Structure 1
Amino acid sequence: MPASSRTCTPDELDVLDTAYSVHLHAHIEGSQTNDSVEIGLVAVNGSVFVRAYQGPASRWYQATQSLGTGWIRLGPTAWNVAFSAVPASADPRLADHIDKAYVRKYGGLAGAATGDRMRQATIRVDPLTP
């Protein structure tokens, strides 16, 4: 039986939101890509989000969408996760909150995650239950 996703615990949200970056890798059982990326992330409304700088054309973004699952790693800790697309057009208010979270966390570097192209490549990252 495949694993299902769950929301992050408050402790997980705190750890991930205070981390500068994580390593992200997309895969499904029996299939994986070699695309692993170090990426910044933010927590908004109890969920974790990442954005692709190159927008929907990004190889790792496409891998998360075609494979649907993977892992994120922060130091020695890794989480098996599910990836869900959340383009800005689906919820403009949420997209604005995510922009503000990137600016708060990354300051002048937030431009790499807050343009129109990046807003259309927003991914929610949810831990998987075993």
Structure 2
Amino acid sequence: MKSTNHRAVSELLLLGLTDDLALEPLILSLFLSIYLVTILGNLLIILAVTSETHLHTPMYFFLSNLSFTDICISTTTITKIVANIQAQDQSIRYTGFLTQNGFVLVFSALENCLLALRAYDRYVVFCNSW
């Protein structure tokens, strides 16, 4: 009988930024403040584009969509970091890790497509202005 060495991985350990427990509140407040500023800034961009009729052009439409994808990427990554620091539990389930990476890849691909569309929009405007 042949024995095999199989082990099912159910959790991954995320190595922290520091081993010093005294720095964790500082790191938590830093990540949380960066996250809140990012969300607030992007929401203000979306609100400005949707409320002002002069900004209903393709360039600003793509800009508001870029702001939305930035909110999604930030929410996907930073919330887990903040939750891990708050709970002092540096583990993540393997399925959660794959799900989080999948969302980051999807939103990053969407962001790249939107950047390409914005570049093409600017190219068309530049070519038509001659």
Instruction: State whether TM-score is above 0.5.
Output: no
Q: By percentage of residues, which structure has more strand?
A: 1
Larger radius of gyration: 2
Bucket of the pairwise TM-score, normalised by the shorter protein? under 0.3
Q: By percentage of residues, which structure has more helix?
A: 2
